[in-house]
Amino acid sequence: MSTPTPLTERYVSATVRSLKPAAQEDVRSELQASIADAIEARLEHGESREAAERAVLTELGDPDILAAGYADRPLHLLGPRYYLTWLRLLKTLLIIVPLCVVGGVALAQTLAGASVGQTIGEVAAVGASTVVHLCFWVTLVFVMLERTGADTGTDWDVGQLPEPSVDGAGKGELIASLAFLALATGAVFWDHFRGLISGDGQALPILNPALWPWWIGSLLVLMGFEAALAIALYARKRWTTDLAVMNTILAVLIMSILVTLLGNDQLINSEVIAYAEAQHGVERDTFDVLGIVTGFAIVGISVWDIVDGWRKTARARGVDVAEG
Amino acid sequence: MSDVLETHLQELRRGTVVLACLRLLRTAEYGYRLLEQLESRGFATDANTLYPLLRRLEKQEYLTSEWNTDEARPRKFYRTAEAGIRLADTMTEEWRLLTTAIATLTEAED
């Protein structure tokens, strides 16, 4: 009687297979004994052995659910602990990233002299795959956070209340900043080694290859500092004067490098320009206009970044005053 | 019974099984026998909730366990540990406070 029937054996095996090896034997023996006890109780009420076994196992339910109970494992992809952070970050990234990527692709296609139809097709394809990738990877990261029980600083107290909402120094902003810097770095490397646009079957980098390693290296170092700044901002939980000063210095340095290179016609790969001119009849004037627009965009974004930092610093100080 | 009603009742009962186990297991007992005892004392519990719960309480050191191999069928016996007895006392005290609080609610309605 101590040997379990095949059905019970199958049920118990299905339950313990996902448990830690150390617990498997113990749970197996205990569960077998419990099932046998329950079957016996039913036999005493005159049920047939087969009917009793089926009833007992049916009552115990899906072995995977039972196993989740033993292993203390959640039966959902993402629990309430991370759901809101996940949702906020995903929303933010879904607004920013596809827009940047689509803009970049559109610009690259235009420079390469693609037709309107081609450009729209490329933009749609890249945009759609960006959205899919974004949703997948962000969700994957959060699922891993949840499964490993990583600490996300969820010990909430009222003191934290004004800070994340007022000065953008919360976890969401940190992850968004780091994700953006990682994407930008990835794009620079991809451009250099694989080429963002292809002409005549060969890949052409958009950024001037002569900028490697020193200019690009300096830019990457500055982006590293940007990442450090984002982390420092998160650690301090608020904008402070020294952070705003750092932010200003970094923005000015990056802006100076980019505008200088742009002004000296060193930023964009001359082969790309030659290719567009030769193959697609893009006129020299068009590049001048594009250059000016890019220059204004760089200056505009940098100035906005600097002003934004000081504005948030002032507001954080306002909170201090209000608290004091 | 409607699902909504069932959910509310489940929420109300949640935790009482833990308290009942800690009290009953002052005398060592094995899983299925404990299930029967809970049933007969009015704590309707599913086997698939109870068995993982026992292991969890053991892991949290509120219960201790021991295999009894004297009989034909080896069984794992659980017993309430020192910490489990203290936890049961705290929970019972909390339950008393809640009972009083609920009583004042119903009195207010009369």
pLDDT per position as a tens digit, B67-78:
988 888 899 999
Q: Sorting pLDDT into bands at 50, 70 and 90, what band is A163?
A: very low
Q: What is the distance between the alpha carbons of residues A72 and B27, in angstroms, rounded to a whole number?
A: 26
For A16, which residue in chain B has the nearest alpha carbon? B52
Most confident segment among A69-73, A92-96, B25-29: B25-29
What is the pLDDT of chain A when averaged over all its residues? 81
Most confident segment among A164-178, A233-247, B50-64: B50-64
Q: Sorting pLDDT into bands at 50, 70 and 90, what band is A324?
A: very low
ipTM of the complex in this document: 0.85
- Is residue B21 within 8 Å of residue B34, measured between CB atoms? yes
Q: How far is B44 from chain A (nearest CA, A)?
A: 13
- Is residue A321 within 8 Å of residue A173, measured between CB atoms? no
Q: What is the distance between the alpha carbons of residues A118 and A109, in angstroms, rounded to a whole number?
A: 8
The reply to whether B14 touches chain A by the CB within 8 Å rule is no
Q: What is the amino acid identity at position B48? A: N
The reply to whether B79 touches chain A by the CB within 8 Å rule is no
Most confident segment among A130-144, A257-271, B18-32: B18-32
For B56, which residue in chain A has the nearest alpha carbon? A70
Mode of pairing for the β-strands spanning A202-204 and B75-80:
unpaired
Chain B partners within 8 Å of A2 (Cβ): 72-73
A 10 A CB-CB count for A16 gives 23
Buried b (16+ CB within 10 A) or exposed e, A98-125: beebbebbbbbbbbbbbeeeebeebbee
Q: Which of residues 28-67 of B touch A (CB under 8 A)?
A: 30-33, 36, 46-49, 51-53, 55-56, 67
The pLDDT of residue A148 is above 60: yes
Asked whether the whole model's pTM tops 0.80, one would answer no
Which of A26, A33, A59 is the closest to B75 by Cβ? A33
- Taking an 8 Å cut-off on Cβ atoms, the answer to whether B33 and A60 are in contact is no
A278-314 pLDDT per residue, tens: 776 667 677 777 777 788 888 888 888 888 888 888 8
- Taking an 8 Å cut-off on Cβ atoms, the answer to whether A38 and B30 are in contact is no
- Which among B16, B11, B5, B22 is positioned nearest to B81, based on CA atoms? B22
A178-214 pLDDT per residue, tens: 888 888 888 888 888 877 666 566 677 888 888 888 8
- Domains of chain B (ranges, CATH numbers): 1-106 (1.10.10.10)
The pLDDT of residue A260 is above 90: no
Chain A partners within 8 Å of B49 (Cβ): 69
Chain B partners within 8 Å of A72 (Cβ): 52, 56
Which of A31, A36, A72 is the closest to B51 by Cβ? A31
Q: What is the distance between the alpha carbons of residues A46 and A259, in angstroms, rounded to a whole number?
A: 90
Q: How far is A29 from chain B (nearest CA, A)?
A: 8
Average pLDDT over residues B63-90: 93
Q: Which of A119-128, A244-253, A268-277, B100-109 has the lowest mean pLDDT?
A: A268-277
Q: Which of A187-196, A231-240, B6-15, B64-73 has the lowest mean pLDDT?
A: A187-196
- Share above pLDDT 70 across residues of chain B, in percent, rounded to a whole number: 96
- Is residue A35 within 8 Å of residue A4, measured between CB atoms? yes
The reply to whether A66 touches chain B by the CB within 8 Å rule is yes
The confidence score (pLDDT) of residue A322 equals 55
